[in-house]
Amino acid sequence: MDGKQFLRRSRVVLMLLGVILAVFVLALYDLQVVQGAYYREQSTRKIANTETVQAARGEILDRYGRPLVTNRASYQVTLDASLMGDTQKRNSTLLSLLEVCGEQGQEWNDSLPITAAPPFRFTTDEPFQTQWETGEGEVKTADTRLFQLAKTLRLKTVTADATAQDTVWALRTYFEVDETLDEARGRALVGVLYELTLRSKDVVRTGYTFAEDVDIAFITAVKERGLAGVKIDTVTVREYATASAAHLLGQVGPITSENWDYYREKGYSMNDTVGVDGAERAFEDILRGTPGTKDVELNQNGKVVGESWHVSSETGEVQAPQPGDNLMLTVDIRLQEVVEEALERHVPTMTDETEGAACVITDMTGGVLACASYPSFDPATYRKNYNDLAQDPLKPMLNRALQGLYAPGSTFKMAVAAGALEEGAITRTEKIQDTGRYKHYDRIEDQPMCWYFRQYGGTHGWVNVSEAIRDSCNVFFYETGLRLGIDGIGQYASLFGLGEYTGLELYEEKGEVAGPETSKRHEQPWYEGDTMYAAIGQGNTKVTPIQLANYVATLVNGGHHYPTHLKKTVKSNDFSQVIEEYQPVARDEIGLDEENIAAIKKGMGMVASEGSAAWYFKDLPVKVGAKTGTAQVSRNSEAHAILVAFAPYDDPEIAISIVVEHGGSGTSVAAIAAEILDNYFSSRDVMDAPAVENTMAR
């Protein structure tokens, strides 16, 4: 009985063992045969990396919804040396990548300041700055030439007087470049390794974009070679729909070490692209989207084997990037193009001394309709042509409309007239006699002359304020300026925004108005007679063209002084919602008497209808008010030519200022102003047909 029971139990145990063994066999078969390929792939995967994906920036459009700056898809190549293996494999991979570049004619980013081909020489004598961590938590900064970097890398053969050839060979030794490699290929390889090493030691710049805007043929060639650590990403880049408004639109670029602290506090990463000037910088918070986060799985060879949007463990939300909002500017790009073309056509013919020019047009509430600086450049080719632009003696990158400082000359006289009328220093009907010399002082050598007497030997006789503006009579304004006093001149100049920031979102110069304090800053004495020259816009008074345009708008709109602005409307990234609409709010209410305004406007109307500029304005579709000015620079140089204007005369819509450096008299600028005004008022009702359906929804 006991033997049979033992036998039965033994059979049960054996059966159980057989079942267990069968299960193991089946499991192994499933793992190794049925799903072997899958699990082999899984076994080579690394832990998923988390990558930040930049969001597309919002578009920039003009006031009518015409695109100015948009985005387009592009491909870029980045390198991760940690996935390239040992030194020999890394160098081989990079040489293979460089061979593809040569075959495809693809340029790559190389900032090593040594020529690409022998005989090697340094391409710059400028110092450069780099930061690196010592490994002990300390950050050091070198502000020296390339040899200092070599010194950092412990290249003992490179000294302060090392040649470019010495440096290249020292770098080749340091990076263990094959000695048999020819000089040109060796230089190309150390250039890439230099970029990688520089970023590995730099606490600000970490990413190395090897090549940008690569084409499909290049991508195919790279993928065919299966190069480890060479990654091709899809990115969006800025595309310009216009060759105009370069100074207004601006550019985007990487974060630099100088402003990293600022952007770090705002939550940016080191490799983010930001607006560096113009509207791109001014409206960064609007245009910048919200970056996304992506989980990326790589195999042992550094190839991507899986990607997915990261899901927040806290909120459960998918962290895909969100594009930035879209910005509509106050600018009319068609008018902007007309202004730039007019400056380019007329300015070079005015004088051999001409260096540059600027024109600004604003509406009555400070909205900038056009803002041009001559010479300019094409924003699409800015980076490609940067060195030529930087070395151009005419300084095309200088925005003269916002940053050029000029004596306003006789265009300042309306501000003095307004102050004197409001303060009762003169009346609208009072006449002052111009005898050629202002005889406030007894000695003839102390008596300043009117321009008309100096130039033609004549006088303007008895003139009231309107006639004095028409004739630009200096004697009238010498007397008026002394009656108003320098404090009054300064007060009204400030109320009109002269010598003050206009409030524009872009960088602008402030300028200054002549007076005792201004002379003190310049370490110059101040005399009573200086008040007379201040009254005619000379002396230390320096203003920008945008200040002049806004000053005229303030004068003719009834004394409502608005800040200038470029922002018009902010719309959501899909254009479905209006997020913000700019609402003009006056900065100052000067409270000018309507009859005083009328008297000043009358004088400006006579300048345009019967004065020095009348011939240019006679055929315009609207009546214009204008004032010319001549700002003396030096005895040996032609004066700057200035003109301000507004139109229509009875119901002003726009104000305009034009400055031509060394352009002579302001009258010579009237042809430019007339052409611009004619285009504006002749074509303002003719709109472009929408390029695509639903354009008006923008």
3 state DSSP class of 359: strand
Q: d(Cα 381, Cα 216) in Å, to the nearest integer?
A: 22
CB 332 within 8 A of CB 340: no
Q: What is the DSSP letter of 329?
A: E
What does the CA dihedral 526, 527, 533, 537 come to, rounded to 10 degrees? 30
Tokens, residue 328: 């509509």
Residue 274's CB is within 10 A of a number of other CB atoms, namely 20
Q: Are strands 209-211 and 67-79 parallel, antiparallel or unpaired?
A: antiparallel
Residue 369's CB is within 10 A of a number of other CB atoms, namely 23
Q: d(Cα 605, Cα 433) in Å, to the nearest integer?
A: 22
CA angle 326, 549, 674 (to 5 degrees): 100
Q: d(Cα 22, Cα 13) in Å, to the nearest integer?
A: 14
Please give the pLDDT value at position 475: 95
Output Rg (C-alpha) for the chain, integer angstroms.
35
The segments of the chain whose pLDDT lies below 50 read 44-45, 127-137, 139-145, 147-148, 156-157, 203-205, 688-698
Please give the pLDDT value at position 352: 78
User: Which is nearest to 410 in space by CA: 549, 499, 537, 497?
Assistant: 537
Residue burial 375-397, b: 16+ Cβ < 10 Å; e: rest: bbbebbebeeeeeebeeeeebbb
Looking at the DSSP assignment, which residues form a beta bridge with residue 327?
A: 60, 570
Q: d(Cα 332, Cα 697) in Å, to the nearest integer?
A: 18
Residue 35's CB is within 10 A of a number of other CB atoms, namely 12
Q: d(Cα 329, Cα 265) in Å, to the nearest integer?
A: 28
CB 576 within 8 A of CB 601: no
Please give the pLDDT value at position 97: 95
Q: d(Cα 470, Cα 650) in Å, to the nearest integer?
A: 18
3 state DSSP class of 659: strand
User: Which is nearest to 476 in space by CA: 440, 500, 441?
Assistant: 440
Residue at 671: amino acid letter:
A
Instruction: Check: pTM over 0.85? Answer yes or no.
Output: no
CA angle 318, 320, 324 (to 5 degrees): 135
Please give the pLDDT value at position 129: 42
Residue 234, CA atoms < 13 Å, CB-side half-sphere: 5
Please give the pLDDT value at position 501: 97
CB-count burial class (<10 Å; 0-12, 13-18, 19+) for 75: middle
CB 418 within 8 A of CB 411: no
Q: d(Cα 400, Cα 340) in Å, to the nearest integer?
A: 13
CB 399 within 8 A of CB 340: no
Q: Give CA 606 to chain center in angstroms.
A: 40
CB 675 within 8 A of CB 342: yes
CA distances from 193 to 111, 159, 208, 360, 620 (A): 11, 20, 10, 48, 64
CA distances from 459 to 307, 471, 611, 614 (A): 84, 10, 15, 20
3 state DSSP class of 506: coil
Residue at 253: amino acid letter:
G
Please give the pLDDT value at position 83: 83
Q: d(Cα 146, Cα 127) in Å, to the nearest integer?
A: 8
Please give the pLDDT value at position 203: 44
Please report, for the chain, how many H helices and E strands are present, in that order: 24, 23
3 state DSSP class of 197: helix
Please give the pLDDT value at position 233: 85
Residue 441, CA atoms < 13 Å, CB-side half-sphere: 13
CB-count burial class (<10 Å; 0-12, 13-18, 19+) for 672: buried
Please give the pLDDT value at position 420: 97
